[in-house]
Each structure stands twice: as C-alpha cells, then as structure tokens.
Structure 1
C-alpha cells in the first residue's frame, strides 16, 4: 500500500499533518512513530529468532534419532 503513494502523496500527507498538528508537535509525533516502528521490528526479529531456534532444535533431535 505505501509503495503506491509516491512522492506527491507523501508531500500531501506531510502538509496535512503539518496543518493538523502544527510545526511544534510534528517532530514529537515523528519520534514517537520511529520509536514504535523500531520496537515493532525488534519484537518481530525476536519472534523470528525464537522460531528459528526451535526449528534448529527439532532438526538436531530428528538427526540424532536417525543415527
């Protein structure tokens, strides 16, 4: 969805956000959005690594049993 917005759409969104929130609040909102995105990515990576570790453990158990 975001890939279809394009540069003019991003400028429009920025102008609307600037009008709605004002120039003083915009940096705070951007920082909060960045922090939220960073935390989401960290959580997703943790979950992925947990699943990967479990798969590796099961594979090692299966390989040990087949010997």
Structure 2
C-alpha cells in the first residue's frame, strides 16, 4: 500500500493544500464526488465477486441435474 504510512500530520497537510488549491466552496463537492466514486467501486466489486460465485454455481448445477436424471 503506497499510502499506508500517512499519519495524522500528513492528512492535515493534504487537507490544507486541497483547501488552498480548490477553495472552501469546492471541497464539499469534491468530497461528495469522491464518496460516490468509492460507493460505485464497492458495488462493482461486489457484483464481480458475486458474479463469479454465481458462475461457479451455474457450472455445478448441470452436472448435478445430469447425475440425478440417470
């Protein structure tokens, strides 16, 4: 993790720089956009993980139904 070593001081410094660069009126908009991006990423990741699980179940289902038909 490249950001694993950032402490409280580093976060405060980043926030101060962001405040200077973007201004106080843009920071809430940036925070909302970042939050939406993270939530969409989580939903997409869950969909991929659940999709893989469903694919495995779909592969196993025909084998089980073929065996029960014999």
Normalised by the shorter chain, which TM-score bucket?
Answer: 0.7 to 0.9
Shift of 1:61: 3.7
State the 1:4 CA deviation. 1.3
Q: What TM-score results when the alignment is normalised by the length of structure 1? A: 0.83
Give the Cα separation in 2 of the matches to 1:50 and 1:58. 12
User: Does 1:25 find its partner at 2:14?
Assistant: no
Q: What is the Cα deviation at residue 6 of structure 1?
A: 1.3
Is 1:49 paired with 2:50? yes
Q: Which runs of 5+ in 1 are unaligned?
A: none
Relative to the length of structure 2, the TM-score reads: 0.80
Q: How many residues align?
A: 67
Structure having the larger proportion of residues in helix? 1
| Structure 2, gaps ≥5 residues long | none
What is the root-mean-square deviation of aligned Cα atoms in Å? 1.6
Q: Which of these two proteins has the greater Rg computed from alpha carbons?
A: 2
